[in-house]
Chain A
C-alpha cells in the first residue's frame, strides 16, 4: 500500500490558497519605493512555502512559477535589488497564475499553460535585469562556502506499512538535488530514518521537501561535517553578516536569536509542518515541550550545537508565536541572550502588515454542519423553554416563586445562548471587502482612472452564507462604479474635482438588517439619457417620474446607457442580475444619485438566511408564513373591488390597478376556508416586479421564523418554499411567493 499523497492534497490546497491570499494582500499594501523589510520577508516566505509544498506534492507547474518568483523576491529581500512597480505587478500576475493552476489541480478550472509560461518568462527577465547572475540555490548567498552535504534524520509520518514506498518517493525527490545515500532505513521496530545527501542546496530547501513526509518533531537536517570547517556556516547563516540583527529578530524564522553567538559550525534545524489545523500544531507543540531536553543534543559531536526553530504552521501568525514560546525552553542559549520572557517582545514586534491574517488568531476550524446542528438544537431549546414558560403561567406565583424565578433565568440564559450560537456563523464583511483593493487597482489601471478605495465598517458581521453570496453582486457594483460612475482624470479636472476619484464601501447594521453601500464621487446617473433609452426600448415612462423610479430603470434586464461596451461593463447584463441575486437573498437595492456629485447604491440584506421576517396568515385550520419582504399591503376587500372576467371573479381593483387574485384555499385545496370575499383578507404581494393579491382568511401576526428544509426528509412542494416551527411546536409552511405570483399570471385558478 503506497502512501496516498492525495489524502494530503486538500490540506495543501487550503494552505496554498491562504498563502496566495496573504501574498496578494501584502503586494497590494507594499510601497515599492520604501518596502518594509518585514513585508518583503513575508512575501518571500509565502512564495517559498508554496514552492516547497507544491514540489513535494508533484505539482511541477506551480513549483516552476514560484521558484522564479521566490528567486526574485529573495534578491529583494537581501537588499541586492530594489523593489520596483514592475516586480509588484509581475508578482500579482504570478499570484493569479498560481491561483489558476491551483484551481486546475483541484479540477475546477482549465490550467492556463500559456499564462504560466508568460509569467515565467517575465519573472526571469526581471531576474536577469538584476545585473548579477541568479544563483540557482535559492537562499545560498554568494559569501558563504557551501557545505558539501547534509545528514537528514527523521521518522516518517503516517502509516508505517507504507514507509518503504514513501521513502522511495522521497529519495527520488531528493535525487533532484544531489546524490542520496540511505544510512538507516526505517524498520518495523523503529520509524527512524537517516539519509545523507551530497548537495549544494540550502538546508531550508531540504526541509521543505521533508516537511510533508517526516514527523516534524523528529526532523533534523545537519550539515555533513566532513568538509565543513569550524568557521563555515550554512548557506543561510551567511545571511547574518548581511542583515541587521533586529530584522532577523522580528522575522518569523527566528534565526536572529543566534546571531550574537560565535560562528556556528553545526546547527540543528527544527521545523514542524504546520500543515494541519492549529489544534494539531498545538498538540505537536506540547509534545515537543514535553520532550525537552532533546535527546539528539547528546548524539552530536562536541561542537557548538545550536538548535534553530523555524516557523511552525508554515509561517502562520499564531503558530509562529507559539513556536517562539516553544523554542525558548528548548534553547538554553537563547535564554541567555534574551531573558526568559523572550516570546513577548518578539511577538510584540510582529509587523502590522500581518493584520491580514490576524483575524483567525486562536480560531478552530469546525464544519458548518456541526454549527448548524448546534443552531438547530438551541432553537429547540428555545421552543422547549417557551413551552415551559407557558405551562408555568397558570401556577400560583406565590407558591411556585422559585420555579418562576428559575424559569425567568432559563429564559435569559437560553436567549444569550442562542445569540452566541448564532454569532458563530457570523463573519466580518472584511472577508468580502478585502478583495476589492485588487479589483480597483487592476480596473483603474486598465481604464486609466485614478481611484482611491475607502472601506468603512469592515468589522460589521453577517451570516457566512450571505458573505459567500454577496461577493459577486458587490463586485459587479464596484466595477460599475469604476467604469460608469467615475470620470477620467481629465474630465474630473475640468469639472473642478480632484483627479483621484473615491469609491466608498461601507457596511453597518440597521434595524435587523445589514446595509452595504457602494458610493462614488463620479458624474452621477444621467436622468435624461436613462429616460431616452427607456423610451427607445418602449418602456412605459414619463418625464414626470420621480428620480427614484428613474434610477430603478437601470436595473431592468438589458438596460444599458453606456455609450460604448467596454471590457468591464456596459453590455446591459448586470444590474438586473445584481437585483435578482439580492432579492433572492431577501434583500433590497436602492439607488441615489446626483448629477456631478456621485452615485450611491444601497443594498439591504437580512442578517442571516436562516431567519426570515414573516407574516403568519390563517386559511381554514392551517397557518402559513408569507415572507414579509414580498408583502406590499393587506386589506379587507369590498364586493365592488372584485371584477370578473368571463364570468369568474379573478381580478381585484386596487387603487386603479387590476391585480390577479390567488385564492390560497383553492391552490392548496384547503377545506373549511372562507369563500366570501368580504369576510377574508387580501394581501397584495410583489415578486420579480409582478404583483398579485392573495386571498386568505385572516392575518395572525408577524414573527421572525427559522427556516427549515422540507426537502431534507420530504420532497419539493410547489408553492412552498420551506417550513418553520412555530412557538407552540407546530410546523408552519412558508409560501413560495414568486412562484404563487407567477402562477397567478400563467394559470389562473378557478375562483371560489
Chain B
C-alpha cells in the first residue's frame, strides 16, 4: 500500500511540475520531511567529541573531512524515539547558508516530491517543537509527513548552534 501511494505521488508530481523534493526521515514513529536542497550528505554516527556545557541534544563535534561540524540529536530535541547510538545510526549533514550541521535521526526513508496542495497548514498545538518551525503537514495516503523548515529551526536560538539569533 505504501509503495502504491508513493508511485502515485511520483506520477502526480510529474504532471504538476511544481512539486518540492523532500527528504523524509523517521524519529520514533513520526515521519518528518525537509527540503532536500539543504542536505549535503548522509553518513554514519562516529567519533563525536563532546563539547563542555552544551545542551544535551548537542552531541558534540565531528571531523568532516577537515571541517569541524556540530552534531545535533533531533530525537533528544524532539523528545521522540530512543537516543541510542549503533553502527546503523544515521546522521544527515545539512548545509544551511554555508554552515554545516549534522543531525541524528532514527532512519532516512526516501526522497519524495510533494505538490503545494499536498501540504496542509499545521494547526497550532502544543508539542516539544515550536509549530513555527513546521511548514505544514504533508498528506501521503495514510502517512502524515511533518514538513520542517530546517533552516529556521537550525538557526534558531533554541538550537543554540549559532552565537546570535539570526532571525
Tell whether, in the assembled complex, residue A731 and residue B49 are in contact, meaning their CB atoms are under 8 Å apart.
yes
Of all chain B residues, the one with the shortest Cβ separation from A668 is B52
Q: Is B11 positioned at the interface, with any CB of A under 8 Å from its CB?
A: no
Smallest CB–CB gap between B99 and chain A, Å? 5
CB atoms of A729 and B63 under 8 A apart: yes
Give the nearest-CB partner of A731 in chain B.
B49
B127 interface residue per 8 A CB criterion = no
Q: Are B49 and A667 in contact (CB under 8 A)?
A: no
B60 to chain A: closest residue by CB: A731
Of B21-29, B64-72, B130-138, the one contacting chain A is B64-72
Is A366 an interface residue when CB atoms closer than 8 A count as contact? no
Asked whether, in the complex, the Cβ of B61 is within 8 Å of the Cβ of A669, the reply is no
**Is A733 on the interface with B (CB-CB < 8 A)?**
yes
Closest to B164 in A: A715
Closest to B100 in A: A713
Q: Does the CB pair A715–B161 fall under 8 Å?
A: yes
Contacts A711-B163, A714-B161, A715-B163; is A725 near B66 (CB within 8 Å)? yes
Stretch at the interface among A55-63, A231-239, A376-384, A454-462: A376-384
B160 CB-CB contact with A under 8 Å: yes
Q: Are A729 and B67 in contact (CB under 8 A)?
A: no
B46-105 contacts to A, CB under 8 A, are 47, 49-54, 60-63, 65-70, 99-101
Let me know if B162 is at the binding interface, CB within 8 A. yes
Give bound CA distance, A719 to B52, whole Å.
9
In this assembly, does A132 line the interface, its C-beta being within 8 Å of a C-beta of chain B? no
- Most-contacted residue by chain A among B47, B63, B67, B99 (CB, 10 A): B63
Known: A710-B61, A729-B63. A717 touches B49 (CB 8 A): no
Cross-chain contact B160 with A712 (CB below 8 angstroms): no
Task: Give CA–CA (A731, B50) in the complex, Å.
Answer: 9
A672-714 vs B: 1/0 string, CB under 8 Å? 0000000000000000000000000000000000001111111
* Interface residue tally on B, bucketed by range: 20 to 34
Would A718 and B49 count as touching, CB distance under 8 A?
no
With contact pairs A713-B101, A717-B54 given, residues A731 and B70 touching in the complex (Cβ less than 8 Å)? no
Q: How far is the CB of A76 from chain B (nearest CB, A)?
A: 54
Given A380-B65, A714-B61, A717-B54: A733 and B70 within 8 A (CB)?
no
Query: Count of A-B contacts with CB under 8 A?
Result: 71
Instruction: List the B side residues contacting A730 at CB < 8 Å.
Output: 47, 49, 63
Shortest Cβ distance from B52 into A: residue? A668
Q: Bound state CA distance, A733 and B160, in angstroms?
A: 18
One of A377, A379, A669, A733 near B49 (C-beta < 8 A): A733
- Is residue A371 within 8 Å, beta carbon to beta carbon, of the partner chain? no
Q: Return the CB mask of A636-652 against B: 1 if under 8 Å, else 0.
A: 00000000000000000
Report if A349 contacts B (CB, 8 A). no
| Interfacial chain B residues near A716, Cβ < 8 Å | 163
Question: Taking CB as reference atom, which chain B residue is nearest A384?
Answer: B65
Contacts of B61 in A (CB 8 A): 710, 714, 723, 731
Q: By the criterion CB–CB under 8 Å, are A713 and B163 in contact?
A: no
When distances are taken between beta carbons in the complex, the residues of chain B under 8 Å from A379 are: 66
Which one of A713, A720, A730, A731 has the greatest number of beta carbons of chain B within 10 Å?
A: A713
User: Is A421 in the interface zone, CB < 8 Å from B?
Assistant: no
Q: How many residues of A contact B (CB 8 A)?
A: 30
Nearest CB in chain A: distance from B166 CB, A = 11
Q: Which residue of B lies closest to A381 (CB)?
A: B66
CA of A248 to CA of B70, assembled, Å: 65
A708:B53 contact, CB within 8 angstroms: no
Q: Which of B1-58 contact A (CB under 8 A)?
A: 47, 49-54
Contacting pair B66 A377 (CB below 8 A): yes
User: How far is it, in angstroms, between the C-alpha of A731 and the C-alpha of B62 when the chains are bound?
Assistant: 6
Is A452 an interface residue, CB under 8 A from the partner?
Answer: no
Docked complex Cα distance between A718 and B51 (Å): 10
Chain A residues with CB under 8 A of B49: 622-623, 723, 730-733
Decide: A714 and B70 in contact? CB cutoff 8 A.
yes
A670 contacts partner chain B, Cβ-Cβ < 8 Å: yes
Residues in B with CB closer than 8 Å to A731 are 47, 49, 60-63, 68
In angstroms, Cα B54 to Cα A668, docked, is: 9
Partner among B52, B65, B66, B161 whose Cβ is within 8 Å of the Cβ of A720: B52
Is B63's CB under 8 angstroms from A717's CB?
no
Q: Is the CB of B52 within 8 A of A669?
A: yes
- Contact among A377, A670, A712, A720 for B99, CB-based, below 8 A: A712
In the bound complex, residues from chain B placing their C-beta under 8 Å from that of A714 are 51, 61, 68, 70, 161
Please indicate the chain A residues that have their CB under 8 angstroms from the CB of B63 in the complex: 725, 729-731
- CB-defined contacts of A708 to chain B, threshold 8 Å: 66-68
Bound Cα distance from A718 to B60, whole angstroms: 15
| Given the contacts A720-B51, A730-B49, A713 and B66 also touching, CB distance less than 8 Å | no
Q: Please, which residue of chain B has its CB at the minimum distance from the CB of A723? A: B68
Minimum CB–CB distance for A18 against chain B, Å: 33
Bound-state CA distance A720–B52 (Å) is 9
Q: A622-B49, A668-B52, A733-B49 are in contact. Are A715 and B68 (CB under 8 A)?
A: no
Q: How far is the CA of A712 from the CA of B95 in the complex (A)?
A: 12
Select the residue from B53, B70, B99 with max chain A CB neighbours within 10 A. B53
Interface residues of B in 100-119 (CB under 8 A from A): 100-101
Expressed in whole angstroms, the minimum distance between the Cβ of B156 and any Cβ of chain A is 13
Q: Nearest-CB distance from A270 to chain B (Å)? A: 46
Contact A717 B67 (CB under 8 A): no
Do B70 and A713 touch across chains, with their CB atoms under 8 A apart? yes
| Complex: chain A residue closest to B64, CB-CB | A713
Measured between beta carbons, the chain B residues less than 8 angstroms from A719 are 52
How far does the Cβ of B144 sit from chain A's closest Cβ, in whole Å? 32
Q: Which residues of B contact A709 (CB under 8 A)?
A: 68
A329 CB → nearest B CB, Å: 48
How far, in Å, is B59 (CB) from chain A's closest CB? 12
Report A374 CB to chain B, min CB distance, Å. Answer: 11
Partner of A733, one of B51, B99, B162: B51
Evaluate contact between B68 and A710: CB separation under 8 angstroms. yes
Minimum Cβ distance to chain A for residue B53 (Å) = 6
Q: Which residue of B lies closest to A711 (CB)?
A: B163
Q: How far is the CB of A496 from chain B (nearest CB, A)?
A: 61
The answer to whether B67 and A712 have CB atoms under 8 Å apart is: yes
List A residues 46-82 near B (Cβ within 8 Å). Answer: none
Closest to A730 in B: B47
Contacts of A720 in B (CB 8 A): 51-52
What A residues does B65 contact at CB under 8 A?
A: 380
Neighbouring A residues of B54 by C-beta, 8 Å: 717
Bound Cα distance from A370 to B5, whole angstroms: 47
Which chain A residues numbered 568 to 623 have a C-beta less than 8 Å away from chain B? 622-623
B residues near A713, Cβ cutoff 8 Å: 67-70, 99-101
Give the CA-CA distance A707 to B100 in the complex, in Å: 18
User: Which residues in A have their C-beta under 8 angstroms from that of B100?
Assistant: 713
Chain A residue contacts of B62, Cβ below 8 A: 731
Given contacts A715-B163, A731-B47, A733-B49, 14 further A-B contacts (CB under 8 A): A622-B50, A623-B49, A669-B52, A709-B68, A713-B67, A713-B99, A716-B163, A720-B52, A723-B49, A723-B68, A730-B47, A730-B49, A732-B49, A733-B52
Interface residues in chain B, defined as those with a beta carbon under 8 Å from any beta carbon in chain A: 47, 49-54, 60-63, 65-70, 99-101, 160-163
17 A-B contact pairs sorted by A residue (CB < 8 Å): A376-B67, A377-B66, A380-B65, A669-B53, A710-B61, A713-B67, A713-B99, A714-B51, A714-B61, A714-B161, A716-B163, A717-B52, A717-B54, A725-B63, A730-B47, A731-B47, A732-B49
The 6 closest A-B pairs by CB, nearest first: A668-B52, A731-B49, A715-B163, A714-B70, A380-B66, A376-B66
